[in-house]
Each structure stands twice: as structure tokens, then as C-alpha cells.
Amino acid sequence: MAYVVDFENVSTAGLESSPVAEALAGLRANEARYFKNKYDHVFTVLTVGTEPAAAEAVAYVHRILEDERHFTIASEPLEATSFEVDGVRWTYVFYASGLAVNVLYTVADGGKRAVGFKLSDGMDVPPELADRFKFARQRSKLAGTIRGSFFVIKGEY
């Protein structure tokens, strides 16, 4: 089921099975606000397990993680989205653990291409990421303290 993320009235809809549902909802709303303010794009997510497009987005992210860094995310994916704005394809997956993974992939050759990780407020760094990445902190009115990291994509996807 498609869900338009409202960043003014933050809701845990679709994220209830997460032990950090409120923090993850804040993180999701933070992303929605960014895309609305920067690109005037409405951030809409799909439920994993019921929507084929969500399964495709999860498979795309997992393929990049496996090909580029040889690991998988252990947590269950709850929601995903994929869209293109200003020549950049964005793909997001929100996990039950509170992790959000995004892929920024510029369609034109030579553009920016990276995978980003964001941890919800209060979430521990997942074991599969702990030894591989250092996380920086940023404050958000919607999400509290967000810890994030990224890596540059070298392959073609």
C-alpha cells in the first residue's frame, strides 16, 4: 500500500512492527521534508511484501550492498520507495531495526553515486555496519539525533 509521508503530522503508520517505530517515523518524515523543500517532491513509500515496486527497490539496494561491499542488512525491510528528481534516481529502504538506507544515483555519466545509511535516534549501529563505517551525528527537529554514514558507488547499476 502506498503511503504519502506527512512531515507535519508524523505518524508511525506502516512502521508499527519496529521497536523504534516513533524514531523511525521521525527519520522518514525528515527525508520527506527534505524532498518537499528541495525538489517539491512528495515522498511516498510502499509496503514491502505487498507491493512489487517495493520488492524491486529492496532488491536493488541489496544488490548494490552485496556487489560493492559484500554484506547484507540483517533487519527486515518494512517500506521502500524509488523515484527520480532532477536527473538523480533515489531509492530508500526503511528497516524494522530503525535503519534507513538510501541510494543516490545520478543518471548521467560522471555524476554522484553513493549509498547512505541513517540510524534512528536511540538505535544501535547494526553489527554488519559497525566495523565498516564511522557515523557522524546531526540534529533534526523531526528525528532527534540522526547518525549517518555513506560510501561512493564504483559500479554501474
Domain residue ranges of the chain, discontinuous segments joined by +: 2-152
Which of 93, 111, 91, 95 minimizes the C-alpha distance to 103? 91
Single pTM value for the model: 0.94
Q: What is the pLDDT of residues 31-47, one digit of tens each?
A: 999 999 999 999 999 99
Q: What is the pLDDT of residues 54-79, one digit of tens each?
A: 999 999 999 999 999 999 999 999 99
What's the Rg (C-alpha) of the chain?
Answer: 14
How far the first Cα of the chain sits from its last, in Å, is 26
Rounded to the nearest 5 degrees, what angle is found at the Cα of 107, between the Cα atoms of 57 and 72?
Answer: 35
